Protein backbone atom coordinates (compact mmCIF):
# COMPACT_ATOMS: atom_id res chain seq x y z
CA UNK A 1 0.00 0.00 0.00
CA UNK A 2 1.52 3.31 -1.04
CA UNK A 3 -0.16 5.58 1.54
CA UNK A 4 -1.67 5.17 4.99
CA UNK A 5 -4.12 7.97 4.24
CA UNK A 6 -5.20 10.15 1.35
CA UNK A 7 -6.98 13.41 2.13
CA UNK A 8 -9.37 14.59 -0.56
CA UNK A 9 -9.72 18.37 -0.30
CA UNK A 10 -7.28 20.74 1.39
CA UNK A 11 -9.47 23.61 2.59
CA UNK A 12 -9.98 24.46 6.27
CA UNK A 13 -10.73 20.85 7.22
CA UNK A 14 -8.31 19.04 4.90
CA UNK A 15 -5.34 21.31 5.66
CA UNK A 16 -5.86 20.82 9.42
CA UNK A 17 -6.11 17.06 8.86
CA UNK A 18 -2.92 17.12 6.77
CA UNK A 19 -1.03 19.00 9.46
CA UNK A 20 -2.26 16.77 12.29
CA UNK A 21 -1.41 13.59 10.38
CA UNK A 22 1.99 15.05 9.55
CA UNK A 23 2.84 14.94 13.25
CA UNK A 24 2.40 11.13 13.21
CA UNK A 25 4.47 8.51 11.42
CA UNK A 26 1.75 7.97 8.77
CA UNK A 27 2.51 8.25 5.08
CA UNK A 28 0.01 10.79 3.81
CA UNK A 29 -1.03 12.34 0.51
CA UNK A 30 -3.27 15.41 0.25
CA UNK A 31 -5.07 16.19 -3.02
CA UNK A 32 -6.97 19.29 -4.09
CA UNK A 33 -8.58 20.17 -7.40
CA UNK A 34 -7.41 23.78 -6.97
CA UNK A 35 -4.55 25.49 -5.20
CA UNK A 36 -5.71 26.22 -1.63
CA UNK A 37 -6.31 28.71 -0.23
CA UNK A 38 -8.73 29.73 -2.99
CA UNK A 39 -12.06 31.54 -3.25
CA UNK A 40 -14.28 28.83 -4.71
CA UNK A 41 -15.22 26.87 -1.58
CA UNK A 42 -16.08 27.74 2.02
CA UNK A 43 -12.84 29.04 3.52
CA UNK A 44 -12.23 32.48 2.01
CA UNK A 45 -13.09 36.03 3.05
CA UNK A 46 -10.21 37.14 5.32
CA UNK A 47 -11.72 36.28 8.71
CA UNK A 48 -13.68 33.64 10.64
CA UNK A 49 -15.17 33.95 14.11
CA UNK A 50 -13.94 31.60 16.79
CA UNK A 51 -15.66 31.37 20.18
CA UNK A 52 -15.10 29.29 23.31
CA UNK A 53 -18.60 28.85 24.79
CA UNK A 54 -20.55 27.35 21.95
CA UNK A 55 -24.24 28.21 21.79
CA UNK A 56 -24.79 25.55 19.13
CA UNK A 57 -24.11 22.90 21.81
CA UNK A 58 -21.94 22.51 24.89
CA UNK A 59 -20.44 19.31 23.50
CA UNK A 60 -18.39 21.42 21.05
CA UNK A 61 -16.60 23.30 23.84
CA UNK A 62 -13.72 20.83 24.43
CA UNK A 63 -13.06 20.84 20.68
CA UNK A 64 -12.85 24.62 20.37
CA UNK A 65 -10.76 24.97 23.51
CA UNK A 66 -8.31 22.48 22.03
CA UNK A 67 -8.40 24.30 18.69
CA UNK A 68 -7.37 27.54 20.38
CA UNK A 69 -4.32 25.74 21.79
CA UNK A 70 -3.52 24.36 18.36
CA UNK A 71 -3.71 27.81 16.71
CA UNK A 72 -1.19 29.11 19.24
CA UNK A 73 1.08 26.09 18.65
CA UNK A 74 0.89 26.67 14.90
CA UNK A 75 1.63 30.36 15.30
CA UNK A 76 4.75 29.67 17.26
CA UNK A 77 5.91 26.90 14.89
CA UNK A 78 5.36 29.04 11.80
CA UNK A 79 6.21 32.38 13.41
CA UNK A 80 3.01 33.97 12.13
CA UNK A 81 -0.29 35.34 13.44
CA UNK A 82 -3.43 33.30 12.76
CA UNK A 83 -5.74 34.01 15.69
CA UNK A 84 -6.50 37.38 17.22
CA UNK A 85 -8.40 37.21 20.50
CA UNK A 86 -10.10 40.60 20.25
CA UNK A 87 -13.08 39.36 22.30
CA UNK A 88 -16.55 38.43 21.12
CA UNK A 89 -19.96 39.98 21.76
CA UNK A 90 -23.21 38.07 21.18
CA UNK A 91 -26.25 40.24 21.67
CA UNK A 92 -29.87 40.78 20.83
CA UNK A 93 -33.01 42.23 22.28
CA UNK A 94 -34.34 40.27 25.22
CA UNK A 95 -37.35 39.32 23.12
CA UNK A 96 -37.53 35.91 21.49
CA UNK A 97 -34.48 35.40 19.33
CA UNK A 98 -34.64 33.02 16.39
CA UNK A 99 -32.67 29.76 16.65
CA UNK A 100 -29.03 30.04 15.55
CA UNK A 101 -27.53 27.13 13.62
CA UNK A 102 -30.24 24.82 14.94
CA UNK A 103 -29.89 25.98 18.55
CA UNK A 104 -33.20 27.40 19.82
CA UNK A 105 -31.64 29.02 22.90
CA UNK A 106 -28.30 30.12 21.51
CA UNK A 107 -27.59 32.92 24.00
CA UNK A 108 -28.74 30.87 27.00
CA UNK A 109 -26.68 27.84 25.93
CA UNK A 110 -23.66 30.10 25.39
CA UNK A 111 -23.91 31.48 28.93
CA UNK A 112 -24.54 28.01 30.40
CA UNK A 113 -21.54 26.57 28.51
CA UNK A 114 -19.31 29.41 29.73
CA UNK A 115 -20.37 28.73 33.32
CA UNK A 116 -19.97 24.97 33.04
CA UNK A 117 -16.50 25.14 31.49
CA UNK A 118 -15.22 28.09 33.53
CA UNK A 119 -14.83 30.27 30.44
CA UNK A 120 -14.25 33.92 31.28
CA UNK A 121 -17.28 35.98 30.28
CA UNK A 122 -19.56 38.85 31.24
CA UNK A 123 -23.31 39.23 30.78
CA UNK A 124 -23.99 42.85 29.84
CA UNK A 125 -27.08 45.02 29.91
CA UNK A 126 -27.77 47.59 27.24
CA UNK A 127 -26.36 50.50 29.21
CA UNK A 128 -23.04 48.73 29.67
CA UNK A 129 -22.89 47.77 25.98
CA UNK A 130 -23.62 51.35 24.93
CA UNK A 131 -20.67 52.51 27.01
CA UNK A 132 -18.27 49.83 25.85
CA UNK A 133 -19.31 49.31 22.23
CA UNK A 134 -20.27 52.57 20.52
CA UNK A 135 -20.02 50.80 17.14
CA UNK A 136 -23.71 49.81 17.37
CA UNK A 137 -27.14 51.46 17.49
CA UNK A 138 -29.16 50.07 20.38
CA UNK A 139 -32.91 49.82 20.94
CA UNK A 140 -32.54 49.86 24.72
CA UNK A 141 -33.69 46.30 25.44
CA UNK A 142 -30.56 44.44 24.29
CA UNK A 143 -28.70 41.98 26.45
CA UNK A 144 -25.24 40.73 25.61
CA UNK A 145 -22.66 38.08 26.34
CA UNK A 146 -19.02 39.12 26.12
CA UNK A 147 -16.19 36.60 25.92
CA UNK A 148 -12.64 38.01 26.04
CA UNK A 149 -11.13 34.79 24.62
CA UNK A 150 -13.20 34.87 21.42
CA UNK A 151 -11.83 36.48 18.28
CA UNK A 152 -11.08 35.82 14.67
CA UNK A 153 -8.91 33.56 12.57
CA UNK A 154 -7.43 34.36 9.19
CA UNK A 155 -8.66 31.32 7.26
CA UNK A 156 -6.49 31.67 4.17
CA UNK A 157 -3.38 32.02 6.33
CA UNK A 158 -4.48 29.07 8.50
CA UNK A 159 -4.74 26.87 5.41
CA UNK A 160 -1.48 28.08 3.93
CA UNK A 161 0.38 27.62 7.23
CA UNK A 162 -0.96 24.14 7.91
CA UNK A 163 -0.19 22.95 4.39
CA UNK A 164 3.31 24.42 4.58
CA UNK A 165 4.03 22.71 7.92
CA UNK A 166 2.44 19.45 6.75
CA UNK A 167 4.65 19.48 3.68
CA UNK A 168 7.75 20.21 5.74
CA UNK A 169 6.83 17.22 7.92
CA UNK A 170 6.64 14.92 4.90
CA UNK A 171 3.02 15.01 3.70
CA UNK A 172 2.88 14.90 -0.09
CA UNK A 173 0.57 17.39 -1.76
CA UNK A 174 -0.94 17.13 -5.22
CA UNK A 175 -2.65 20.36 -6.19
CA UNK A 176 -4.76 21.18 -9.26
CA UNK A 177 -5.82 17.52 -9.49
CA UNK A 178 -9.44 16.51 -9.24
CA UNK A 179 -10.31 13.22 -7.55
CA UNK A 180 -12.72 11.48 -9.88
CA UNK A 181 -13.24 8.15 -8.13
CA UNK A 182 -12.65 6.40 -4.82
CA UNK A 183 -13.08 2.61 -5.04
CA UNK A 184 -12.05 -0.46 -3.02
CA UNK A 185 -8.95 -2.17 -4.47
CA UNK A 186 -9.17 -5.61 -6.05
CA UNK A 187 -8.23 -7.41 -2.79
CA UNK A 188 -10.76 -5.36 -0.86
CA UNK A 189 -8.08 -4.41 1.68
CA UNK A 190 -7.41 -0.86 0.54
CA UNK A 191 -8.69 1.98 -1.58
CA UNK A 192 -7.85 3.18 -5.08
CA UNK A 193 -8.08 6.93 -5.56
CA UNK A 194 -8.13 8.19 -9.14
CA UNK A 195 -7.64 11.79 -10.19
CA UNK A 196 -7.87 13.26 -13.66
CA UNK A 197 -4.17 12.46 -14.10
CA UNK A 198 -3.05 9.80 -11.59
CA UNK A 199 -4.00 6.71 -9.59
CA UNK A 200 -2.96 5.99 -6.00
CA UNK A 201 -3.57 3.25 -3.48
CA UNK A 202 -4.09 3.85 0.20
CA UNK A 203 -5.18 2.21 3.42
CA UNK A 204 -7.78 4.87 4.14
CA UNK A 205 -9.34 7.99 2.65
CA UNK A 206 -10.46 11.14 4.42
CA UNK A 207 -12.97 13.13 2.41
CA UNK A 208 -12.75 16.83 3.26
CA UNK A 209 -14.37 18.07 0.09
CA UNK A 210 -16.63 20.75 1.59
CA UNK A 211 -19.55 21.62 -0.67
CA UNK A 212 -18.31 19.08 -3.23
CA UNK A 213 -18.92 16.23 -0.77
CA UNK A 214 -22.04 15.01 -2.60
CA UNK A 215 -19.85 13.97 -5.54
CA UNK A 216 -18.54 11.16 -3.34
CA UNK A 217 -21.79 10.06 -1.74
CA UNK A 218 -24.25 7.37 -2.76
CA UNK A 219 -27.52 8.81 -4.07
CA UNK A 220 -29.40 8.02 -0.83
CA UNK A 221 -27.01 10.19 1.26
CA UNK A 222 -26.86 13.21 -1.02
CA UNK A 223 -30.09 14.67 0.33
CA UNK A 224 -28.52 15.12 3.78
CA UNK A 225 -25.96 17.67 2.56
CA UNK A 226 -27.25 20.99 1.30
CA UNK A 227 -25.13 23.92 0.18
CA UNK A 228 -26.33 27.48 0.78
CA UNK A 229 -24.83 30.59 -0.74
CA UNK A 230 -23.88 33.16 1.91
CA UNK A 231 -22.63 36.66 1.37
CA UNK A 232 -19.97 38.75 3.05
CA UNK A 233 -19.80 42.53 2.68
CA UNK A 234 -17.16 45.07 3.64
CA UNK A 235 -18.78 48.44 4.44
CA UNK A 236 -17.07 51.73 5.17
CA UNK A 237 -17.20 52.46 8.90
CA UNK A 238 -19.00 55.54 10.18
CA UNK A 239 -16.74 55.95 13.22
CA UNK A 240 -13.01 56.71 13.23
CA UNK A 241 -11.01 53.64 12.24
CA UNK A 242 -9.46 53.30 15.68
CA UNK A 243 -12.92 52.66 17.19
CA UNK A 244 -13.47 49.67 14.90
CA UNK A 245 -9.94 48.27 15.17
CA UNK A 246 -9.42 44.94 17.01
CA UNK A 247 -8.08 46.82 20.03
CA UNK A 248 -11.51 48.44 20.53
CA UNK A 249 -14.02 46.34 18.64
CA UNK A 250 -14.82 42.66 19.27
CA UNK A 251 -16.20 40.20 16.76
CA UNK A 252 -19.95 40.17 17.18
CA UNK A 253 -23.11 38.24 16.45
CA UNK A 254 -26.27 40.31 16.50
CA UNK A 255 -29.20 37.96 17.01
CA UNK A 256 -32.55 38.61 15.39
CA UNK A 257 -36.16 37.63 15.80
CA UNK A 258 -35.86 35.76 12.49
CA UNK A 259 -32.83 33.88 11.14
CA UNK A 260 -32.57 36.42 8.31
CA UNK A 261 -32.19 39.29 10.78
CA UNK A 262 -29.06 37.81 12.30
CA UNK A 263 -25.78 39.33 11.22
CA UNK A 264 -22.24 38.95 12.42
CA UNK A 265 -19.13 40.98 11.93
CA UNK A 266 -15.51 41.73 12.61
CA UNK A 267 -13.33 44.65 13.54
CA UNK A 268 -11.50 46.39 10.72
CA UNK A 269 -8.24 44.58 10.10
CA UNK A 270 -6.77 46.04 6.94
CA UNK A 271 -6.69 49.78 7.56
CA UNK A 272 -9.20 52.57 7.35
CA UNK A 273 -9.94 52.34 3.63
CA UNK A 274 -10.71 48.60 3.60
CA UNK A 275 -14.01 48.66 5.49
CA UNK A 276 -15.42 46.38 8.16
CA UNK A 277 -16.69 42.96 7.22
CA UNK A 278 -20.18 41.77 8.05
CA UNK A 279 -22.03 38.61 7.08
CA UNK A 280 -25.64 37.51 6.95
CA UNK A 281 -27.06 34.01 6.65
CA UNK A 282 -29.77 32.36 4.61
CA UNK A 283 -31.00 28.77 4.64
CA UNK A 284 -33.86 29.09 2.13
CA UNK A 285 -32.25 28.81 -1.31
CA UNK A 286 -30.00 25.79 -1.67
CA UNK A 287 -27.48 25.74 -4.52
CA UNK A 288 -24.52 23.67 -5.65
CA UNK A 289 -20.89 24.42 -6.40
CA UNK A 290 -21.92 24.62 -10.05
CA UNK A 291 -25.00 26.80 -9.70
CA UNK A 292 -23.84 29.28 -7.02
CA UNK A 293 -23.90 32.91 -8.13
CA UNK A 294 -20.50 34.16 -7.01
CA UNK A 295 -21.35 37.81 -7.61
CA UNK A 296 -23.15 39.87 -5.00
CA UNK A 297 -25.75 42.09 -6.66
CA UNK A 298 -26.30 45.81 -6.04
CA UNK A 299 -29.78 44.89 -4.79
CA UNK A 300 -28.39 42.49 -2.20
CA UNK A 301 -25.92 45.12 -1.02
CA UNK A 302 -28.67 47.73 -0.73
CA UNK A 303 -30.95 45.37 1.22
CA UNK A 304 -28.14 44.41 3.57
CA UNK A 305 -27.21 48.00 4.19
CA UNK A 306 -30.85 48.83 5.02
CA UNK A 307 -31.11 45.95 7.45
CA UNK A 308 -27.73 46.23 9.13
CA UNK A 309 -27.31 49.99 9.35
CA UNK A 310 -30.24 49.97 11.81
CA UNK A 311 -27.89 48.28 14.24
CA UNK A 312 -24.33 48.98 13.11
CA UNK A 313 -22.71 52.34 12.38
CA UNK A 314 -21.70 51.96 8.74
CA UNK A 315 -21.81 54.19 5.68
CA UNK A 316 -23.68 53.27 2.51
CA UNK A 317 -20.43 52.40 0.77
CA UNK A 318 -19.75 48.73 0.14
CA UNK A 319 -16.04 48.40 -0.55
CA UNK A 320 -15.89 44.68 -1.26
CA UNK A 321 -18.21 41.68 -1.36
CA UNK A 322 -17.95 37.91 -1.79
CA UNK A 323 -20.14 34.83 -1.89
CA UNK A 324 -19.24 31.64 -0.08
CA UNK A 325 -20.85 28.25 0.66
CA UNK A 326 -22.21 26.76 3.87
CA UNK A 327 -22.66 22.99 3.67
CA UNK A 328 -25.42 22.04 6.06
CA UNK A 329 -26.90 18.78 7.37
CA UNK A 330 -30.41 18.50 8.87
CA UNK A 331 -28.98 18.16 12.40
Ligand X SMILES: Cc1cc2nc3c(=O)[nH]c(=O)nc-3n(C[C@H](O)[C@H](O)[C@H](O)COP(=O)(O)OP(=O)(O)OC[C@H]3O[C@@H](n4cnc5c(N)ncnc54)[C@H](O)[C@@H]3O)c2cc1C
Q: Give the Cα separation of 292 and 286 in Å (integer).
A: 9
> C-alpha angle 265/262/221, rounded to 5°?
100
**SS3 of residue 303 by DSSP:** helix
Give the footprint of ligand X on residues 311-330 (CB under 6 A): 324-326
Q: Which stretch binds ligand X (CB under 6 A): 204-212, 218-226, 292-300, 307-315?
A: 204-212
Q: Give the Cα separation of 265 and 249 in Å (integer).
A: 10
Q: Is 90 exposed, middle or buried (0-12, 13-18, 19+ CB in 10 A)?
A: buried
Q: Does 209 bind ligand X (CB under 6 A)?
A: yes
Closer residue to ligand X, CB minimum distance, 225 or 241? 225
String marking each residue 20-49 x if it binds ligand X according to CB under 6 A: -----------xxxx-x----xxx-x--xx
- Residue 240 Cβ vs ligand X, minimum distance, rounded to whole Å: 25
- Residue 125 Cβ vs ligand X, minimum distance, rounded to whole Å: 26
Q: Give the Cα separation of 9 and 224 in Å (integer).
A: 20
Q: Does 52 bind ligand X (CB under 6 A)?
A: no
Q: Give the Cα separation of 180 and 215 in Å (integer).
A: 9
- Residue 306 Cβ vs ligand X, minimum distance, rounded to whole Å: 20
String marking each residue 151-180 x if it binds ligand X according to CB under 6 A: ---------------------------xx-
Contacts (Cβ under 8 Å, ≥6 apart) of 261: 98, 255, 307
Closer residue to ligand X, CB minimum distance, 171 or 179? 179
Q: Does 55 bind ligand X (CB under 6 A)?
A: no
Q: Give the Cα separation of 129 and 146 in Å (integer).
A: 9
Q: Does 84 bind ligand X (CB under 6 A)?
A: no
Amino acid sequence: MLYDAIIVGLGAVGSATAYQLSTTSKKVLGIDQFQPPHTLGSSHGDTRITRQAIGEGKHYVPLVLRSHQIWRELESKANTELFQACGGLIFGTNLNNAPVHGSPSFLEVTVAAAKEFGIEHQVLDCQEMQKRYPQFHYQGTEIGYFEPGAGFLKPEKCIETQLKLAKENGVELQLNQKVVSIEPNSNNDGVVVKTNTDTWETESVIIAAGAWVSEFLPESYKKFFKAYRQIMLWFEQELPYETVSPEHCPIYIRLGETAEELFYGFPGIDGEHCGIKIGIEQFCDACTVDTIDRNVSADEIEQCFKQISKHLKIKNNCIKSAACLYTVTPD
